[in-house]
Amino acid sequence: MASIMTNAESTESDARLAVSRMLTEDLYRMQCLAALKSQQLPQGYLAAGFLRNAIWDELHGFKKPTPLNDIDVIYYNPSDTSKESELHIENALSAQVPSAHWQVKNQARMHVKHGHNAYKDCEEAISYWIEQETCVAIRLCPNEEGDKFDMLAPYGLSRNFAGTISINPRYPRGDVFTQRVHSKNWLVTWPQLTLGSALVGSIWGSRDFPL
């Protein structure tokens, strides 16, 4: 696996600098980030695979980015939790970047789906997602010019550079984790990733796992 940071440099600040460099060089992701910024959403970020996959591509030394099946947009607006508003935002983003499959979710309503107390912000909301490496989000700083980034990573961005897929202990759902590893083919697309040791047997032992 390619490494973009030495062990001595593997700190959270170095991880964020590496992400800034990677994203700045990715014209498609920058286009998507600019489109999001133009919408001026409260706590609007591009989350999950948008950032996670870019890091995994970098770790594997891929010359071209792995195509994104969708682009997860999160924001936080407790005063309007209607799905109609989310659809309106999706349509606006699609008008700017038609090639992207936008999926917009207001995190001020997502606690209901999981039976949690209301989340106080986007960072708390994503801290409950299935894999720790998926609990990441990024945006262009809303009040600054140029390519300055604001990132959310409740478990640290440096975890993503470790090349692991880890179940989230804050809200562990082993069956959902296993299903996602199977259906998303992460270990096929990025074969040098490793699973948490407690999960290796259950994942690799399945007859249905694609080889």
State the residue for tokens 């948008």.
50
pLDDT at 196: 75
Contacts of 189 by beta carbon, 8 Å cutoff, 6+ apart: 66
Contacts of 118 by beta carbon, 8 Å cutoff, 6+ apart: 78, 108, 111
Q: Is the pLDDT of residue 5 over 80?
A: no
For residues 130-158, give the mean pLDDT: 91
pLDDT at 105: 98
Claim: this prediction has a pTM higher than 0.85: yes
- Please give the C-alpha separations between residue 70 and each of 11, 133, 196, in angstroms, as whole numbers: 29, 17, 26
